[in-house]
Every structure is written in structure tokens, then in C-alpha cells.
Amino acid sequence: MAIQVGDKIPSVKVKVIGPEGQQDSTTDELFGGKKAVLFAVPGAFTPLCSAQHLPGFIEKAAEIKSKGVDAVYCLSVNDGFVMDAWAKDRGAGDAVTLVADGSADLTKQLGLEMDGSKFGMGTRSQRYAAIIEDGVVTHLGVEAPAKFEVSSADAILEAL
């Protein structure tokens, strides 16, 4: 069953992309004691993800953070090297921190995986956005297949 509002984010190891490249971290470190936005995309460098989803959050990050959000994270089931290249390509800078869930461990524990095999992508994350306060989901917008409505930066701004 997929994670829902009121549920705690599971404790999972991930790779976080920072100024020095990829670093080991945990969801406990990312979300504990903070208010954060987590949005997930099916894949780095894919058309909608690269043209709208990530750029929208980069553009609106300061506005999101002005509403009491400590961090904005973008998760994808890609390895840390790909996520690092994507962060540089899209100019994520300090606005959005990219999180690599290379083996889909977090995605599967959240119950938000999808089968992208017909696109040659294997297991991927569904497109979603969440507001997380001290590790607990307070808002969750999961997209219907082929949609981009409830997980945009604008949708998160409305929910904050």
C-alpha cells in the first residue's frame, strides 16, 4: 500500500547530490526535524521531468522556502552519477537538492513505484510531490498516469 498523509517516511539510505558530488545520507537525516518538500520524477533527463518538473521547482524554490520549508528535494530512480549530471545540466544549485534512489529502495518502501518496462526504463518512481514535517507526510499529491497537475511547484505552493 502506498504511503499516505499522516504516515512516517521510512528510514532508507540514499545518495544526495551536493557541491562535492554524491554523498551517502538517510531519509532520517533529510527529513528529521525539518519541514521539507519531496517531489519525485520517473527519470532524470526525460522530457517532462527536464523541461517542466525540476525547472519549476528550481524557479519557485525561494518562494517555497519563504513559506517555512527548510529543503526541497527531487528524487528519481537513477544512480548518483546521473543525478549529479542532471543537477548541473538543469542548474539546480542550492535551490533543489537531488536525491538518487538508484535501486528504488525508498520508492518501493513508499509504495510509489511504477513499471516503466514498456518504455525501457524498468522500475521507476511515480510522479508525486509531498510536504513532510519532521519525517511525517502532511500533504501528498500523486499524479495519474501521463498527468502533471498535483505534483508541480505551483500545486505545492497552494498546499503550503
Catalytic option among 49, 98, 106, 156: 49
> What's residue 1's pLDDT?
78
pLDDT digits (tens, 9 = 90+) for 61-77: 999 999 999 999 999 99
Told to judge if 74 belongs to the known catalytic residues of this protein, a careful annotator would answer no
Cα distances (Å, whole numbers) of residue 76 to 22, 33, 89, 116: 14, 23, 15, 13
Q: What percent of the chain has pLDDT over 70?
A: 100
- Residue 35 pLDDT class (50, 70, 90 cuts): very high
Output the nine-digit C-alpha cell for 116.
Answer: 516503466
Give 20: exposed, middle or buried? Use CB within 10 Å, 0-12, 13-18, 19+.
exposed
Q: pLDDT tens digit string along 127-147?
A: 999 999 999 999 999 999 889
Could you give the domains of the chain?
A: 13-159 (3.40.30.10)
- Section 105-127 average pLDDT: 91
Q: For the stretch 82-97, what's the b/e string if a residue is b when 16 or more beta carbons lie within 10 angstroms of its beta carbon?
A: bbbebbeebebeebbb
Instruction: Give phi and psi for 114, each to the nearest 5.
Output: -140, 155
Expressed in angstroms, the distance from the first to the final Cα of the chain is 25
